[in-house]
Amino acid sequence: MTLLAMAATIFVGSLVAGFLGALTGLGGGVVIVPLLTLGFGVDLRDAIGISLISIIATSSGAAVAFVREGYTNVRIGMVLEVGTTFGAIAGAFIAAYVAKSFLGGLFGAILLLSAYLSVRGRAQGEYTGPSDKVSSLLRLSGSYPTPDGERKYNVTNVVPGAILMFGAGMLSALLGIGSGSIKVLAMDQVMRIPFKVSTTTSNFMIGVTAAASAGIYLNRGYVEPALAMPVTLGVLAGSLVGGKVLVGADVASLRKLFSAVICVIALEMIYKSLTGGL
């Protein structure tokens, strides 16, 4: 394949990935690695490096609006980024010593988990209890806009949440994903932060998390410009359009469809890893 044909097809694939990722809230990152490895035969480590770069672009692009509208809790983000940043650095080092077949299998497993988390209903109601000690000390309580005006909230279980964030950062660096679904799980279910604040603050943190390992990948030679160009531009454009369409779309059924696609991709990744095809 010529460079031009390769760049054009990868661009279109990344555009679709970014569009669906933004529309469903799963993020484009989860499909970039399978797209490059299964679809274009790119080496797994190169694919992970490129995916991390594209994640910084989409996270930063989407955060512009969320921060401006007042959903994102910058303080919570900053505190939890301590966990994700050092988790990511640890992950980037472990990645060098782990076999590709293991990484591929782990990738498939985490994809299945993400798909499950995105379709599962959220039964838990709003948290009306007090802040815990750490939360009070760091003044993590905040408020976010609703149709009825600003709504205030408290935060609890900060330390368990931060520990989970270390794990999320590690997975992000190992697999080249944003770990958004795990970050949201930790904030929404464990720290009891309102869902909309959890998702936007998770997105806000993804850029810092990915940057903490992407520099190491770049230095190891896993970020190839010829691939980085179509992927970052495609995912960024796709996610900007997807974010606009989000209002008014039938998100629930789209999310189910995308989750089904992700399950198929996950099984393919696991199969390829077991048979040594990655």
Partner 1 sequence: MSEPISSDAPVQDERMIDLAISNILRFGVIVSSLLVVVGGAVMLAKEGNHPYVEGKFDMELRSISGILDLVQKGNPEGVIQLGVVVLLATPFMRVAFAAYAFLQERDYKYVVIALTVLSGLTYSLFYHGL
- The footprint of partner 1 (CB under 8 A) covers 1-7, 42-43, 46, 53, 56-57, 60-61, 63-65, 67-68, 70, 72, 74-75, 78-79, 81-82, 85-86, 88-89, 92, 128-131, 137-139, 141-143, 152-154, 207-208, 210-216, 218-221, 223-230, 232-233, 236
Q: Closest separation between CB of residue 214 and partner 1, Å?
A: 6
Kindly state the tokens that stand for 61: 């692009």
Q: Closest separation between CB of residue 248 and partner 1, Å?
A: 24
Give the up-direction half-sphere exposure of residue 81: CA atoms within 13 A in the CB hemisphere: 19
Of 234 and 259, the one with the shorter C-beta distance to partner 1 is 234
- Phi, psi angle pair for 165, to nearest 5°: -65, -35
Q: Distances in Å between the alpha carbon of 273 and those of 21, 107, 109?
A: 24, 10, 11
Of 113 and 167, the one with the shorter C-beta distance to partner 1 is 167
Of 215 and 277, the one with the shorter C-beta distance to partner 1 is 215
- Phi, psi angle pair for 211, to nearest 5°: -65, -30
Of 24 and 213, the one with the shorter C-beta distance to partner 1 is 213
Q: Closest separation between CB of residue 30 and partner 1, Å?
A: 19
Determine the Cα angle at 51 with ends 25 and 66, to 5°: 35
Kindly state the tokens that stand for 4: 């031009």
Of 160 and 221, the one with the shorter C-beta distance to partner 1 is 221
Q: Closest separation between CB of residue 209 and partner 1, Å?
A: 8
| Residue 204 contacts residue 61 (beta carbons within 8 Å) | no
Give the up-direction half-sphere exposure of residue 171: CA atoms within 13 A in the CB hemisphere: 25
Using the structure block, give the residue that is written with the tokens 């099984």: 267
| Residue 227 contacts residue 35 (beta carbons within 8 Å) | no
| Residue 189 contacts residue 66 (beta carbons within 8 Å) | no
159: left (phi over 0), alpha (psi -120 to 50) or beta: alpha
Q: Closest separation between CB of residue 86 and partner 1, Å?
A: 6
Q: Closest separation between CB of residue 252 and partner 1, Å?
A: 29
Of 65 and 274, the one with the shorter C-beta distance to partner 1 is 65
Of 56 and 117, the one with the shorter C-beta distance to partner 1 is 56
Sign of CA dihedral 208, 211, 216, 222: positive
Q: Closest separation between CB of residue 3 and partner 1, Å?
A: 5
